[in-house]
Amino acid sequence: MADRLRTFLGELKRRKVYHVGLAYVAVAAGVLGVCDAGIPDALWARLQVPVGILLLVGFPIALVLAWAYEVRPEESAGTESAIDPVSQEDPTHLPLDRIAVLPFASIHPDREHDYFADGITEELISAISRVRGLDVIARTSVMKYRDSDARIGEIARDLNVGVVLEGSVRKAGDQLRVTVQLINAESEGHLWAEDYDREFREIFAVQRDIASHVADALRLRLLEKDAENIGYVATDDLAAYDLYLLGRHHLGLRTDAGTRKAISSFERSIELDSAFAPGHAGLADAHILAALGYMSKPPKDVLQRVQQSAKEALRLNESLPEAHTSLGYSALLAWDAGAALSEFQRAVELNPSHAQAHQWMAHALIVLNRPLEAAESSARALELDPLSAILTLEAGWGYYYAWEIEKALPFADRALAMDPNLPVAHYNRAEYLFLLERPEEAFKAADRALKLLPSMPYGRAFLAGAHARHGQEETAQAMLSQLEAEDSTDNPIRAFIAFVQEALGMKDEALASIRIAVDRREPFGSYISLAWLPFHSLRGDPEFQSIVEEIDRIVGR
């Protein structure tokens, strides 16, 4: 009852009923004053009662009309693209073509059910991203405000958005209750609000309805094909969908345990419904994290699993941006940077607000040796996910590839200010500090990274190389032996082993390892020919130069 009352009062405010009521009272008082002063007393004595009755009858009629026609002072004739007269170009106002879907509150006493609310938040972000002309802030940034007591205006300024969607969700058995409200961030006035009391099986219809109302409230165009995709019923098996949301929750943790749980959840999801395209796309994403080192022992044939899962998702639904993004990254890891770029471009075409597609497109452009375009793509990703520590870190990579290390270091510092426990930021910071000849600070950063994510082979290889270059050959040799013991066709890390061998002065062994990495098409082997990698002592070697030319040919640089 309290929720309904709050929603009703919010709707009264949104439709300007309060404003109309006050204006009516003011005008009525003015009319009575004029009549009292300008009409002869005898005549006014006869007219006073009927005029008063007329004004009283008109009051509820004015309120009803205000509700029905949503009288809004900010509307003007001929306006189609704005929700108030503030120009989108005006730097003093928040942009009305940018929206943040804040984490939905979970109305459930058990915090273990928070994953469901988080999942609904992510699904709404994906659905609203289909609205053309609207930038939708990515999950990573909005999740910073989970359980936050910050005001809407403060959040909007942090994210540079003019519109905010917030709400709550309660799932009890087969029943679902979703409360949602769309808010103008500057005025903090309601643009639209709704309560949904539905059966859980209607969740996709609820998501479609919310996205459509957002488009209507902002007077933006929802293309027919996008409306169809928003209304796409991914699965009739609600248990499969629930497992999918759980998998996405674990995937967002970016940890070894989280990656394992995500893979398990997605696998169970598609066991229940093999035609569930998002489940296959989620499994592809989880295997990508495993391939990137977020899992101590990746599954066998991990890249093949990524490709199989992504292709199956696209077979079931060609318009799924996440599947194109996953397939693109698998192509990038398989050294087909051109195909990867095409998939990322297709994902962005389907969902211009897909931050990860822009992020990974930058990776493909780096491999293709197009750093300026990569910088633009990274900047776009950061616009869509401004509080993402990893995107902040990657925004400095352009300086790293250009060998301007002093300019790259501040980005690592900013990323760690956002997330002090981001392992790759500590690794990057360590690398920058070593290159700037600040080894004491660098070793501290590397040790911190190793504690946070001991499974990442690149980080351990880099640290081993640093030990070798700073006179700690015994430590480096021990780390090299451990990496060599882990290397296999199922877990190919020969390119990283070459890092350490080169640092230890093992030139012939390093060249042999590089040759193996190229023949295997190891995921990170395509980066060997980029100038930023620490193979300085090999740069003038004819055999190394021949391998570099071969890599460039394969990748298509």
What pLDDT does residue 109 have?
64
Structure tokens at 18: 């309060």
CA–CA dist 296, 302 (Å, integer): 13
Nearest to 449 by CA among 430, 434, 436: 430
Q: What is the arithmetic mean of pLDDT over 310-314?
A: 95
Q: Is the pLDDT of residue 7 over 60?
A: no
Percentage of residues in the chain with pLDDT exceeding 90?
37
- pLDDT tens string 214-226: 888 887 755 555 6
What pLDDT does residue 235 have?
82
How many Cβ atoms from other residues are within 10 Å of residue 298's Cβ?
Answer: 22
Q: Is the pLDDT of residue 19 over 60?
A: no
With H, G, I as helix, E, B as strand and everything else as coil, classify residue 417: helix
What pLDDT does residue 14 have?
45
Residue 411 contacts by C-beta under 8 Å, 6 or more apart in sequence? 392, 393, 394, 395, 396, 397, 399
Q: Is the pLDDT of residue 508 over 90?
A: yes
Q: Is the pLDDT of residue 457 over 80?
A: yes
232-248 as b/e: b if 16+ CB within 10 A: bebbebbebbbbbbbbb
What pLDDT does residue 263 have?
95
Which H or E element spans position 195? strand 190-199
How many Cβ atoms from other residues are within 10 Å of residue 132's Cβ?
Answer: 12
User: Cα–Cα distances in Å, from 360 out to 22, 260, 336?
Assistant: 54, 22, 14
Q: Is the pLDDT of residue 522 over 50?
A: yes
Q: Is the pLDDT of residue 333 over 50?
A: yes
What pLDDT does residue 158 have?
93
Angle between helices 371-384 and 355-367 (to 10 degrees): 170
Q: Nearest-5° angle of CA 169, CA 119, CA 388?
A: 120
User: Cα–Cα distances in Å, from 315 out to 47, 227, 274?
Assistant: 77, 20, 12
* Range with the largest mean pLDDT of 28-37, 95-104, 122-131, 533-542: 95-104
Please check whether residue 290 is in contact with residue 303, taking contact to mean a CB–CB distance below 8 angstroms.
no
Average pLDDT, the chain: 82
CA–CA dist 407, 395 (Å, integer): 11
Q: Is the pLDDT of residue 70 over 50?
A: no
Q: Is the pLDDT of residue 42 over 80?
A: no
Q: What is the arithmetic mean of pLDDT over 48-63?
A: 68
What pLDDT does residue 146 have?
85
**Global pTM value:** 0.72
Residue 249 contacts by C-beta under 8 Å, 6 or more apart in sequence? 115, 118, 119
Q: pLDDT tier at 5 (50, 70, 90 boundaries)?
A: very low
Nearest to 143 by CA among 107, 105, 89, 179: 105
Angle between helices 542-555 and 507-520 (to 10 degrees): 20
CA–CA dist 242, 112 (Å, integer): 13
What pLDDT does residue 370 have?
85
Q: pLDDT tier at 80 (50, 70, 90 boundaries)?
A: very low
Structure tokens at 101: 């879907």
> Letter for the amino acid at 209?
D
Q: What is the 3-state secondary structure (H, E, C) of 307-354?
A: HHHHHHHHHHCCCCHHHHHHHHHHHHHCCCHHHHHHHHHHHHHHCCCC
481-493 as b/e: b if 16+ CB within 10 A: eebeebbeeebbb
Residue 75 contacts by C-beta under 8 Å, 6 or more apart in sequence? none
What pLDDT does residue 25 have?
64
Q: pLDDT tier at 364 (50, 70, 90 boundaries)?
A: very high
What pLDDT does residue 488 have?
84
What pLDDT does residue 22 have?
61
What pLDDT does residue 3 have?
41
Which H or E element spans position 275? none
Percentage of residues in the chain with pLDDT exceeding 70?
80
CA–CA dist 476, 457 (Å, integer): 14
Q: What is the arithmetic mean of pLDDT over 338-358?
A: 94
Q: pLDDT tier at 10 (50, 70, 90 boundaries)?
A: very low
